[in-house]
C-alpha cells in the first residue's frame, strides 16, 4: 500500500494536519467502521463477537512483532504490563534493575515500586550507557526502543548483549516504535516487550500488548490476576487458582472490548504496509521538517536519522501555549516538557510539513 492510498483511510486529514501520533493516532474510517460493527454486535450474540475480537487482537499483534500468539497477553496499559513482568521476579540474589533517565515515567515508577521487595533501581548516567551499569547483580534491564520525549532510538541490541553476558532479563518498551518501523522480538532478543494500540497503531487508548518470551519460566506467577488469567476462564470456579502455560497467565479481568475492535482496525491497516518503507517515508518527513523549521529560525531538537524515532522536537518556552496556537490553525501537535513534539506517520506528507511551517509562522507573528 502506498502512502497516498494509506492516507485515504484517514479522511479527517483533509481538514486537519495531524502531527501527534506520538500521543494519539489519527482517526481512520476503519476505526469508525469497527466501532459501528461493535454497536451492531451488541444486538446479537455480543460476547461471542467480543471474544473473537480479543483473539484477533492477540493474533494480529503477534504477527506484527514476529511472536507466537501464546506469547502475547492483553492488558489495559503498558504500566500494567510492566507490573506483571516485575511481579514474577525475585530480587534476592540479583536485585538491580538498570534503566535509563529517558524511560517513560510510568514504566520507571513500576520499577521504583519494587524497592520494598529488595530491588535497587539504577538509572544510567547517559541514556545509552547501559554497559557500564549492568553487572552480575542485575536482575532486569529496561530499555525503551524509542524514547517518548526526544524520539531517541536507543541501542537495544547493546543493552540486550550486556544483559545476556550476566544472565539478566530485558524489558523493552516499544510503544513509540510499533506501527511506524519494523519491530521483531526475535531480532531484538528480548524477554518482555510492551506496546499499545493508540499511537502509531492508530486505535484507541485502553489496550496494551505484553510479549513474554517464556511465560512459564518465571520466579513466581503473576501477582495481579483475574478470571482471564485462568486455564479455563469459563469454568467459573472461585476455589481454584490455576495458570495456563501461555502469556494469558499475565492477564487479569474482562478485556477492554471497544479498544480490541479499534486495535484490530489498526492492525489491519498497519499489517498491510511495508514497515521498512514506512520508516524511510517518516525519516524523510522528519528531515524535511527539521530543515524547514530551522530555516524559519526555530530551535529544533532532531537526532541523527539512525538514532531518530518518528518525531522531532520544537523547543519553546511555553510548549502547551504553542500547541494551542497551532491547534487553532488546524495543526495538531503534542507538547511534552520543554518541547513540542512533531511526529509523522505514513499518512503524513510534504504538504503537512508546509502547513505546519505556515501555521507556526502565523503564531509567531501574531496573525
Tens of pLDDT along 84-136? Answer: 999 999 999 999 999 999 999 999 999 999 999 999 999 998 888 899 999 99
Answer whether residue 33 is part of any domain: no
Domain's final residue, options 246, 271, 296: 271
The pTM is what?
0.95
Q: What are phi and psi of 170, to 5 degrees?
A: -125, 130
Q: Cα–Cα distance between 122 and 46 in angstroms, integer?
A: 47
* Whether pLDDT at 183 is above 70: yes
Which three cell numbers, joined as nine digits, stand for 136?
Answer: 552480575
Answer whether residue 202 is part of any domain: yes
How much is the average pLDDT of 308-328? 95
Which three cell numbers, joined as nine digits, stand for 52?
Answer: 473473537
Answer whether residue 128 is part of any domain: yes
Answer whether residue 38 is part of any domain: no
Residues 174 and 264 grouped into a single domain: yes
Neighbours of 360 (CB within 10 A): 24
Residues 253 and 104 grouped into a single domain: yes
Residues 20 and 94 grouped into a single domain: no
Residues 349 and 246 grouped into a single domain: no
Q: Cα–Cα distance between 173 and 142 in angstroms, integer?
A: 8
Domain's final residue, options 271, 300, 323: 271
Buried b (16+ CB within 10 A) or exposed e, 109-138: ebbeebeeeebebbbbeebbbbeebbeeeb
Q: Cα–Cα distance between 353 and 19 in angstroms, integer?
A: 9
- Domain CATH code at residue 287: 3.90.1150.10
What pLDDT was estimated at residue 94? 95
Domain's final residue, options 239, 271, 303: 271
Residues 166 and 256 grouped into a single domain: yes
Q: Cα–Cα distance between 52 and 56 in angstroms, integer?
A: 6
DSSP 3-state of 67: coil
Indicate the pLDDT class of residue 366, thresholds 50, 70 and 90: confident
Q: Cα–Cα distance between 53 and 179 in angstroms, integer?
A: 19
C-alpha 5: how far from its chain's center? 24
Q: Cα–Cα distance between 227 and 233 in angstroms, integer?
A: 5
In the chain, the percentage of residues whose pLDDT exceeds 70 is 100
What pLDDT was estimated at residue 146? 97
Range of the domain at 359: 3-27+274-365
What pLDDT was estimated at residue 88? 97
Residues 140 and 208 grouped into a single domain: yes
- Average pLDDT in the chain: 96
Answer whether residue 40 is part of any domain: no
Residues 205 and 143 grouped into a single domain: yes
Domains identified in the chain, total number: 2
Residues 6 or more apart in contact with residue 327 via CB below 8 angstroms: 333
What pLDDT was estimated at residue 367? 58
Residues 286 and 319 grouped into a single domain: yes
Crossing angle, helix 46-65 and helix 257-271, to 10 degrees?
A: 40
Answer whether residue 35 is part of any domain: no
Please choose, from the candidates 335, 310, 19, the residue with its C-alpha nearest in 3D space to the C-alpha of residue 151.
Answer: 310
- Domain CATH code at residue 65: 3.40.640.10
Residues 123 and 102 grouped into a single domain: yes
Answer whether residue 39 is part of any domain: no
Residues 11 and 138 grouped into a single domain: no
Tens of pLDDT along 21-70? Answer: 999 999 999 999 999 999 999 998 999 999 999 999 999 999 999 999 99
Amino acid at each position: 500500500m502506498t502512502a497516498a492510498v494509506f492516507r485515504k483511510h484517514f479522511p479527517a486529514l483533509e481538514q486537519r494536519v495531524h502531527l501527534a501520533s506520538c500521543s494519539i493516532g489519527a482517526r481512520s474510517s476503519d476505526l469508525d467502521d469497527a466501532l459501528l460493527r461493535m454497536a451492531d454486535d451488541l444486538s446479537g450474540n455480543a460476547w461471542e463477537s467480543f471474544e473473537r475480537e480479543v483473539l484477533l487482537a492477540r493474533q494480529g499483534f503477534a504477527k506484527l512483532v514476529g511472536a507466537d500468539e501464546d506469547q502475547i497477553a492483553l492488558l489495559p496499559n503498558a504500566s500494567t504490563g510492566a507490573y506483571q513482568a516485575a511481579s514474577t521476579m525475585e530480587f534476592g540474589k540479583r536485585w538491580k534493575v538498570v534503566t535509563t533517565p529517558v524511560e517513560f515515567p510510568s514504566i520507571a515508577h513500576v520499577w521504583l515500586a519494587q524497592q520494598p521487595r529488595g530491588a535497587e533501581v539504577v538509572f544510567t548516567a547517559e541514556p545509552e550507557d547501559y554497559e557500564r551499569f549492568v553487572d552480575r547483580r542485575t536482575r532486569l534491564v529496561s530499555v525503551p526502543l524509542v524514547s517518548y520525549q526526544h524520539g531517541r532510538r536507543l541501542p537495544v541490541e547493546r543493552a540486550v548483549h550486556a544483559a545476556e553476558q550476566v544472565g539478566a532479563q530485558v524489558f523493552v518498551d516499544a510503544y513509540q516504535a510499533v506501527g511506524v518501523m519494523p519491530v521483531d522480538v526475535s531480532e531484538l532478543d528480548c524477554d518482555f516487550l510492551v506496546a499499545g494500540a493508540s499511537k502509531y497503531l492508530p486505535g484507541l487508548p485502553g489496550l496494551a500488548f505484553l510479549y513474554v518470551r517464556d511465560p512459564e519460566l518465571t520466579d513466581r506467577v503473576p501477582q495481579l490476576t483475574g478470571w482471564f488469567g485462568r486455564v479455563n476462564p469459563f469454568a467459573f470456579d472461585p476455589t481454584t487458582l490455576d495458570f495456563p502455560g501461555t502469556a494469558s497467565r499475565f492477564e487479569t479481568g474482562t478485556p477492554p472490548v471497544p479498544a480490541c475492535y479499534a486495535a484490530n482496525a489498526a492492525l489491519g491497516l498497519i499489517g498491510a504496509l511495508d514497515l521498512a518503507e514506512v520508516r524511510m517515508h517518516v525519516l524523510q518527513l522528519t528531515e524535511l521538517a527539521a530543515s524547514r523549521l530551522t530555516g524559519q529560525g526555530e530551535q529544533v531538537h532532531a537526532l541523527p536519522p539512525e538514532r531518530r524515532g518518528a518525531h522531532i522536537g520544537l523547543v519553546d518556552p511555553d510548549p502547551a501555549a504553542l500547541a494551542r496556537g497551532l491547534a487553532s490553525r488546524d495543526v495538531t501537535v503534542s507538547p511534552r516538557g520543554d518541547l513540542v513534539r512533531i511526529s509523522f506517520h505514513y499518512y503524513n506528507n510534504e504538504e503537512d510539513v508546509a502547513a505546519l511551517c505556515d501555521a507556526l509562522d502565523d503564531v509567531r507573528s501574531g496573525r
